[in-house]
Structure 1
Amino acid sequence: MLKPIKSLVFLFLLFGLQFLAAQDSLKLEQKEIHVKWMNKLIDIDGSLDEDVWNLAEAAGDFWQYFPTDSLKSSDRTEIRMLYDNKYLYIAIKVFAKGEDFIVPSLKRDFDARGNDNINLLFDTYKDGANAFFFGSNSQGVQREALISGGGANYRDFINTWDVKWENASKIYGDYYIAEMKIPLASFKFKDQETVWRFNSYRFDTQSNEISSWSRIPQNQTLTNLAFMGDMIFERPLDKVKTQFALIPYVSGNVTKDFDIDQTTTDFSIGGDAKIPFGNSLNLDLTINPDFSQVEVDELVINLTRFEVFLPEKRQFFIDNADLFSDFGNARAANPFFSRRIGIAEDLEGDNIENSIIAGARLSGKINENLRIGVLNIQTAEDAANEIPTNNNTVVAVQQKVFSRSTVGFIFVNRQVTKMSDFVEDAEEFNRVLGLDFNLRTEDNKWIGRAYLHKSFAPETGDKDFSSGGYLEYNTREWKFNLGSTYVGEDFQADLGFVRRNDIITVDPVATRVFYPVGSKVNTHTIEVRANSTWSPDLDFKYTDGMVDLEYQIQLRNQSSIEMALNHRYTYLLEDFDPTGSDEGEPLPAFSEYNYSKFDFTYESDRRKDFSFTARTDLGQFFNGYRYSLTSDFRLRLQPYFTASFRSSYNYIDLPDPYSTASIWFVGPKFEFTFTKNLFWSTFIQYNSQDEDFSVNSRLQWRFKPLSDLYVVYNDNYKTTPFAPGTRALILKFTYWINI
């Protein structure tokens, strides 16, 4: 039997002495930019012809982040800021080797990788935990986001957040100017504040550099809020009058169900409202929300025994999302996962939409150190699918402690509000109480978490707890992480994400990074990670084990290579067919397997018009073998067209009488950005595992800021035999009204 912990003891002891002696050679300076108050009219046109810009202090002197973090940037970047009672004005002069700026798309919220852009981060409460993000490129295309969790992981970057602001860019030979006008009401901040924390970073494709104003070590993320300077206002910021916003919509659709040969039409009306309370709190209301325009999820080939985690994309749930969702273990036992609301299972176990009647959410800062969030949503009854009407409530409180750490409390409640005949007594309610501590040191060398959660249900046992935590130490050369999770057999989180019950896990990780000098290689990384899982209810039976040895090479041309050897041990507690076939012979419960494989991944330089990522896996799989090839080809005809072609092929060969299968996923996607306000995207997907072929085509016209007209076409087919399933044409109109 595999013993991952024992196999790592020698490596951790070997690393230990160097770990204790490891010291960062990078010395960080504290930077400042002074922001001058003014009352002049500024035209946002990408031309700094107003005299007042000459009075603004310039912040520059950027440091490289890539390819090295020890040199100044080779191309200058100058940032100037001004403000009045309503707006923050920003002028950025971005120098380059020439004017061959890469702009893959005119669509808002573009991906920063592989193109030229400049980005700004504002930590308005100086808590090192949350920030507002704004960015632009040489064509004036906007991007904005919310940053949570200290920005230590890129998953803390939420770019589905939208807000009204102005931006214009203009190219002047070997530099471009990005000029911005951001309403102060878009930020949350304390009245009479004089200092924010601030940083900026840019991607420079011509010099092949990534740089930042406040110096950031390469072992940290670009969005990490531990590495910022001060933004000092000439006068205290007054309380800003924030506007009440109404966002009504009307939507109509025609749907054909080929299974029953029936065509239906539907017309709906609803909307959202945003009601501010001072500079720090916001009340969001929604009535009969419609999410038909939201980008569809990518179909996933799932060869595991567990549910797949998919991200939230619906706008209503985005603002301050971390306040509700950043509890517990995100991938193992999260007490609140917003995608549980508005989605339910039909009688055949398939996910379907469960209509939301109305919802409200109050979230934001009470003071400099205290955040609160209260969410309440009522979902509708679907008697045909035996789905009851539920009231869903979440209360979250987060208190800052020490320099950047937080203590959080969460209460989650799902309550059936009408006990129909098909509702069993055990399903009447589910509640979770939780307490979390998140550690973030000032320099971000130490981060961690500890949590304890308890669930409540009408019929449950006493093993209704979940607890765990992790501790990570991170320097430029070394990273060590040790985590553990417990999920009791009776722990239940109906509005959360619980991958499996009755487990205790231990997860050690050790990473060493090398920085060669004078080489085409930028970094070498060796990582050893393990996972061990026991079942407490089975006398601590050892059920799962994993040991991975990974070697990563980051080249200076921004391409990368990754190789990995990994070994798995699995003790099945239930029958399981790894191919996911409905007709296959499953592997029997209470059988055990040891199997190993080799992975190889290559990602090419994303700055090129054509780039790709390819991955292959080869080796054992349970009691047989598996070969897989995954690829993602990307084409850019800037700035009007981008295309990607994602595909994966898995061949699984298990001995008789078990299954042998070839599983395909093919997903081409095409995006046309005719202007900054007119976009057309088409996403085609085929998944042989689910016998599903679908087309989603969406035309979006942003006729005014945050006001849109959508035309959406959905087509779904069954593939065995190939026949149409459902087809829908949707027209949706949304309008943002400030009052």
Structure 2
Amino acid sequence: MSIVSRRIRLAGPALLGLLALLMALQAAADGLPHADASLPVRKSVPVLRVGEAPVIDGDLGDPVWRQAAGFDDFTQLQPSAGAPPSQRTEVRLLYDANHLYLGIRAYDTEPDRIVANQLVQGRGVTGDDHIQILLDPLDSARRGYVFFVNPNGVQVDGLTSGSNTWNLNWDGIWHARSRIDAEGWTTEIAIPFRTLSFDPGRPDWGMTVVRQVGRSSERQAWTFRDFRASTDALGLITGLRDLEEGRGLDVIPSLAFRERRDFVTGRSQTALEPALDLFYRFTPALIGALTFNTDFSATEVDDRRVNLSRFSLFFPEKREFFLQGADIFEFADLQQNGRPFFSRTLGLSARGEPVDLVAGGKLTGRLGRWNLGLLGVHQDADGEIDADTLLVARASADVLQTSSVGMIATYGDPRGNRDSWLVGTDWNFRNTTWLDGQAVEAGAWVQRSWNEDLEGDDAAWGLRFGLPNETLELRASLVELQRNFQPAMGFVNRRDIRQVDASLFRLWREPVPLLRDWRVGGEVTQVTDLDGRLESSRIRVVPLDMFLAAGDFLNVYWTRERERLERPFAVAGVLEVPPGIYTFQRVGMSFNGAGFRRLRPSLTLEGGEFFDGHRQDLRLGAAWRPNRHLLFDASGSINRLSLDSGDFITRLLRLRADVAFNVHWAWTNTLQYDNVSGNFGVSSRLRWVPRLGQSLTLALDHEFLVEDGQRLDTQTRDFGARLSYTFRI
């Protein structure tokens, strides 16, 4: 080990710990920060309190709307940044003791060209005409809620934190109805205060509204920074006083029927079980949750992927219980490798099969400047893995304008019979005033794990710096994960490494025929072991990355990779690559059709060297919407491998067929096959959502093994039915 490497390795964690301690002391001394008073005067609008609520039916003809204050001073974000919008938008606001109401008129000079394809509740509306609301009840300039609604009244929601990081898997209870008329389209929205975390003593909330015109991909916003809507550039809605918190109790009983048949072993299981979820607001911003006999049968299956790398893949969380308050547990902006807590380790085996959670409890929310998260579950036994109680604690404090410092701790090993601990601390800095409104970010973090069967070399740490702006985007980071760093409740797919990442991109939006914007740039990654020996490196140059004026996307790139293998590696488990140092170059292009198109194509072509041979990739897809009730989305990928050890072709096929009877009833179906595992899967969900918070789901999952490329052998069949209803007390 070199002297430099040794010094970095020893001094890094100590330095980061000192930084975190200094920031913690500052947090204790500072007052709760909100929007910086040194910024230009913020737009604001008063919200009128009413005694009689508007009827949420999409019709703005209720007399109460004529009393409401509002705004229509939108600015175009794209394609002509800073220009007046091509279509006018009016927003009006009201509130009563229980709800915040928005009435929005989206004028359109060509109402017959309004794009309203999505009719499945909760599915993405980004290709449609839609309204997006960013709401920060604490006016923290850090995090908040995002709500989308399209002209069909389809609702999508999520949480936003940090530098425009969104978690669209969160589901809150709110109400919206829309309608299209001769002047465009309208929507009425009612957001219950019980759905939000807020401070009763703070009558002014951060908010902005964004509108997208689907056919032209035009986006316009009330407030923005760097021509992007973000939580650190919100306007104010003022005068929200005497809000009704109720008893703060949500009771969600559910009844679940499950039948599982394993055709390989001949075993079958049938169960009819009740489940109960309780949510209680200790304060409007601090929520406790209890779950008993938790059932996840209605959760959608993961999209299948073929792994041609040496490292395990990352799949996002989809289960509702873990998504509630998930933003609180985020740590140091880590997306994958090195995450101290990854909720998919709970209630799922290493094989991805469900493990029963007997009970669980959670506390998430905010107290003053503090963001708090506590999670505990009792997981049932799974084969040779004993039942265990698993705990996570997370706390962070808001400091400076939009920065934070925090700590995390975990206890337990959900996939092993051993004691396991982890502690970590992180510092996240963000400023938007130094460089004339441009954002500057920096961060530092350190973690240490303790496992009873491992000793020493169990730390991890990282540094990052960025200018995450639209015109010029610069990012750099340094991360070290030691050999025995094993967060039992986290995600690590590569350890005993030091990794450096850097990227630089420049975007232009000058008027050019047929183009909306284009950018060029590149990325560099280098991974070494802790003695400084190369493990892998990657250079990616993007000479062409552009959105066409119609909203289509075209991308061209070149990559150069270098890999050092100390032991044989079987690509896709089939073709063996011997130890050695390999350098290979590849070129590729991708095209994605605009989301508003009835027939939306996608294409990716990539080819070049791969270890000791060659590889050609083809990914082809087409999503067809004959009308708003039907969607057929077919995609396939082929990887043609030709190495010294032989030839192999991987195939992955996926077909999605959705039938939306109306905005309340939807039947979604997914068929997936890959020839690496040989599995063919059918997943079907029939869902009725009369209102958010009330649902009936019928679920069928059928797994087959494809024999000899033709015959289907049934492996397992799972059928489930789940009825749930939310009572707000």
SS at match of 2:381: coil
Cα offset, 1:265, TM superposition: 2.1
SS at match of 1:226: helix
State yes or no: 1:625 paired with 2:614: yes
* 1:569-627, Cα deviation, whole Å (9 max, x unpaired): 0001332112322xx4x2233x1100010011011222110011110110000010000
CA 1:511–1:703: 2 relative to 1, 3 Å: closer
Superposed, 1:68-467 pairs within 5 Å as 68-100=80-112, 101-151=114-164, 156-218=165-227, 220=228, 222=229, 224-233=230-239, 236-238=241-243, 240-327=245-332, 329-345=334-350, 350-367=351-368, 369-382=369-382, 385-414=383-412, 427-442=417-432, 443=437, 445-467=439-461
* 1:674-719, Cα deviation, whole Å (9 max, x unpaired): 0111110110000111111010011112245422222111111111
Cα offset, 1:242, TM superposition: 4.7
Counterpart-to-counterpart distance in 2, 1:48 and 1:355? 48
> Counterpart in 2 of 1:604?
593
Superposed, 1:480-491 pairs within 5 Å as 480-491=474-485
* 1:330-375, Cα deviation, whole Å (9 max, x unpaired): 2220000000001123xxxx332221111000010111x2110100
CA 1:702–1:208: 2 relative to 1, 3 Å: closer
CA 1:692–1:506: 2 relative to 1, 3 Å: same
> Counterpart in 2 of 1:673?
660
Cα offset, 1:205, TM superposition: 2.2
SS at match of 1:685: strand
Counterpart-to-counterpart distance in 1, 2:650 and 2:215? 41
> Counterpart in 2 of 1:725?
715
SS at match of 2:449: strand
> Counterpart in 2 of 1:568?
561
Counterpart-to-counterpart distance in 2, 1:113 and 1:407? 33
Return the letter of the residue paired with 2:289.
D
SS at match of 2:64: helix
Cα offset, 1:210, TM superposition: 1.1
- Does structure 1 conserve the Cα–Cα contact (< 8 Å) formed by 2:73 and 2:222? yes
Of 249-258 and 433-442, the range deviating more from structure 2? 249-258
Which of 694, 711, 714 is 2:681 aligned to? 694
- Does structure 2 conserve the Cα–Cα contact (< 8 Å) formed by 1:373 and 1:396? yes
* 1:232-270, Cα deviation, whole Å (9 max, x unpaired): 12x534462254122122222333222123443222221
- Does structure 2 conserve the Cα–Cα contact (< 8 Å) formed by 1:301 and 1:687? yes
CA 1:77–1:300: 2 relative to 1, 3 Å: same
Counterpart-to-counterpart distance in 2, 1:380 and 1:709? 26
Return the letter of the residue paired with 1:294.
T
Cα offset, 1:441, TM superposition: 1.2
Return the letter of the residue paired with 2:492.
V
SS at match of 2:194: helix
- Does structure 2 conserve the Cα–Cα contact (< 8 Å) formed by 1:627 and 1:651? yes
Q: Which structure 2 segments of 5+ residues have no match? A: 1-38
- Does structure 1 conserve the Cα–Cα contact (< 8 Å) formed by 2:94 and 2:102? yes
SS at match of 1:441: strand
Return the letter of the residue paired with 2:429.
L
CA 1:253–1:135: 2 relative to 1, 3 Å: same
Cα offset, 1:542, TM superposition: 1.0
> Counterpart in 2 of 1:8?
none
CA 1:90–1:114: 2 relative to 1, 3 Å: same
> Counterpart in 1 of 2:24?
none
Return the letter of the residue paired with 2:457.
K
Return the letter of the residue paired with 2:381.
E
CA 1:208–1:341: 2 relative to 1, 3 Å: closer
CA 1:475–1:376: 2 relative to 1, 3 Å: closer
> Counterpart in 2 of 1:578?
571
SS at match of 2:597: coil
SS at match of 2:101: strand
SS at match of 2:66: helix
SS at match of 1:316: helix
Normalising by structure 2, report the TM-score.
0.90
Which of 526, 539, 546 is 1:547 aligned to? 539
CA 1:516–1:285: 2 relative to 1, 3 Å: same
- Does structure 2 conserve the Cα–Cα contact (< 8 Å) formed by 1:98 and 1:206? no
Counterpart-to-counterpart distance in 2, 1:453 and 1:704? 43
Of 673-682 and 510-519, the range deviating more from structure 2? 510-519
Counterpart-to-counterpart distance in 1, 2:217 and 2:505? 26
Return the letter of the residue paired with 2:232.
A
CA 1:116–1:704: 2 relative to 1, 3 Å: closer
Counterpart-to-counterpart distance in 2, 1:476 and 1:456? 41
Return the letter of the residue paired with 1:125.
L
- Does structure 2 conserve the Cα–Cα contact (< 8 Å) formed by 1:74 and 1:207? no
Structure 1 outlier segments of 4+, above 6 Å:
none
Q: Which structure 1 segments of 5+ residues have no match? A: 1-26, 417-422
Of 285-294 and 636-645, the range deviating more from structure 2? 636-645
Of 94-103 and 469-478, the range deviating more from structure 2? 469-478
> Counterpart in 2 of 1:13?
none
Cα offset, 1:193, TM superposition: 1.4
* 1:651-671, Cα deviation, whole Å (9 max, x unpaired): 10001xx13111000000011
SS at match of 1:437: strand
SS at match of 2:555: strand
Which of 525, 533, 544 is 1:531 aligned to? 525
- Does structure 2 conserve the Cα–Cα contact (< 8 Å) formed by 1:197 and 1:229? yes
* 1:258-309, Cα deviation, whole Å (9 max, x unpaired): 2123443222221211111121111111111111111100011110011111
Counterpart-to-counterpart distance in 1, 2:723 and 2:50? 39
Return the letter of the residue paired with 1:47.
D
- Does structure 2 conserve the Cα–Cα contact (< 8 Å) formed by 1:85 and 1:238? yes
* 1:440-461, Cα deviation, whole Å (9 max, x unpaired): 2134511232101111111323
Cα offset, 1:376, TM superposition: 0.3
Cα offset, 1:93, TM superposition: 0.7
Return the letter of the residue paired with 1:227.
A
SS at match of 1:185: helix
> Counterpart in 2 of 1:588?
578
CA 1:208–1:239: 2 relative to 1, 3 Å: closer
